């Protein structure tokens, strides 16, 4: 247990926890959108259960490091066109990223279409999703986001205890702030539309990574942060009282 007294270990723990929180924001957005389809008294339970499942999934993946190593090894190869190009290897991780990315693209497109066409409110009363169906969708996407999170942890730290501690701290942080983030998203329709567009961006990124086209995460997070910043300025501008025009000024003076 001497490694617990090492300052480098604590720095690694803090750094990895921060990265896990950043990677978990995507998960919170997705869980918030899905849980928002449930009745109000079930939404908090769905968020807590979804994040708890994410924690269990991450810990199980971390405890099966040998399986994780095999997951990144090629399962088969796809022949490419051209004589000079080698075959494209496909691993289990690639398949999970591609399927998860396609699921996000489908779900984000479906939700945006429902919002624009107004079919979400009409269908809400006719066919509300069940609690188990929402949890099943959360579990599927938890597996995709957990894979990315665990691979990041394995690449940064060697000690299993540090990895598990960082994941637990990140999930606790998300459990504390998931309700506030979810309420804010549902209070502002434009923020929800922006969150759905982020799902499309993340889905496209996952599919690209599944085909070995790495997109630097810094670019993705900068684009998302810039969009959120612009939207906050729009919200602040809309909250200001309208400025008095010439007609209003003349009436005031009279």
* DSSP assignment of 181-193: HHHHHHH-HHHHH
pLDDT band at 101 (very low <50, low <70, confident <90, very high): confident
Structure tokens at 174: 């998300």
Residue 211 and residue 223 share a domain: no
Structure tokens at 171: 């999930």
Whether pLDDT at 176 is above 70: yes
Distance CA(219)–CA(111), nearest Å, equals: 25
Distance CA(222)–CA(198), nearest Å, equals: 12
Q: Is the dihedral of CA 138, 213, 229, 108 positive or negative?
A: negative
**Structural domain of 209:** 2-215
pLDDT average, residue stretch 41-64: 83
Residue 234 and residue 172 share a domain: no
What pLDDT is recorded for position 108? 77
- Determine the length of the chain: 254
In angstroms, how far is the first alpha carbon of the chain from the final one? 81
Whether pLDDT at 236 is above 60: yes
Domain count, the chain: 2
> Taking a C-beta distance cutoff of 8 angstroms, is the pair 227, 194 a contact?
yes
> Taking a C-beta distance cutoff of 8 angstroms, is the pair 139, 53 a contact?
yes
What pLDDT is recorded for position 251? 56
What pLDDT is recorded for position 242? 62
Contacts of 103 (CB under 8 A, 6+ apart): 140, 141, 144, 203
Residue 240 and residue 211 share a domain: no
What mean pLDDT is reported for the chain?
75
Residue 86 and residue 122 share a domain: yes
Whether pLDDT at 244 is above 70: no
Residue 9 and residue 85 share a domain: yes
Share of the chain above pLDDT 70, in %: 76
pLDDT band at 60 (very low <50, low <70, confident <90, very high): confident
**pTM for the model:** 0.63
Residue 165 and residue 84 share a domain: yes
pLDDT average, residue stretch 67-71: 64
Residue 55 and residue 23 share a domain: yes
Residue 111 and residue 230 share a domain: no
- In tens, the pLDDT along 111-168 reads 788 777 765 544 444 445 788 888 888 888 777 777 767 766 666 666 777 778 888 8
What pLDDT is recorded for position 66? 59
Residue 70 and residue 51 share a domain: yes
Residue 232 and residue 183 share a domain: no
Residue 138 and residue 224 share a domain: no
Distance CA(135)–CA(43), nearest Å, equals: 11
> Taking a C-beta distance cutoff of 8 angstroms, is the pair 109, 55 a contact?
no
What pLDDT is recorded for position 85? 55
What pLDDT is recorded for position 123? 43
pLDDT band at 84 (very low <50, low <70, confident <90, very high): very low
pLDDT average, residue stretch 190-212: 81
Task: Give the best-scoring range by mean pLDDT among 190-199, 229-238, 241-250.
Answer: 229-238
Residue 147 and residue 31 share a domain: yes
What pLDDT is recorded for position 254? 54
What pLDDT is recorded for position 200? 84
Among residues 229, 212, 181, the alpha carbon closest in space to that of 27 is found at 181
């Amino acid at each position: 247990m001497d490694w617990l007294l090492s300052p480098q270990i604590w720095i690694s723990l803090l750094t990895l926890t921060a990265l896990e929180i950043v990677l978990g924001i995507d998960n919170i957005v997705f869980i918030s959108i899905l849980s928002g389809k449930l009745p109000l008294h079930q939404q908090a339970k769905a968020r807590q259960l979804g994040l708890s499942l994410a924690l269990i999934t991450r810990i199980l993946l971390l405890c099966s490091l040998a399986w994780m190593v095999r997951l990144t090894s090629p399962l088969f190869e796809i022949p490419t066109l051209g004589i000079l190009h080698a075959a494209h290897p496909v691993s289990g991780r690639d398949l999970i990223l591609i399927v998860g990315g396609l699921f996000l693209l489908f779900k984000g497109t479906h939700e945006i279409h429902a919002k624009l066409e107004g079919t979400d409110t009409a269908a809400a009363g006719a066919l509300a999703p069940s609690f188990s169906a929402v949890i099943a969708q959360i579990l599927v996407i938890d597996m995709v986001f957990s894979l990315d999170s665990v691979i990041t942890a394995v690449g940064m730290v060697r000690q299993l205890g540090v990895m598990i501690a960082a994941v637990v701290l990140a999930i606790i942080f998300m459990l504390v702030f998931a309700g506030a983030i979810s309420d804010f998203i549902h209070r502002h329709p434009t923020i929800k539309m922006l969150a759905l567009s982020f799902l499309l961006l993340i889905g496209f990124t996952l599919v690209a990574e599944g085909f070995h086209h790495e997109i630097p995460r810094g670019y993705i997070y900068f684009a998302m942060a810039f969009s959120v910043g612009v939207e906050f300025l729009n919200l602040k501008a809309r909250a200001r009282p309208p400025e008095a025009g010439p007609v209003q000024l003349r009436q005031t003076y009279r």
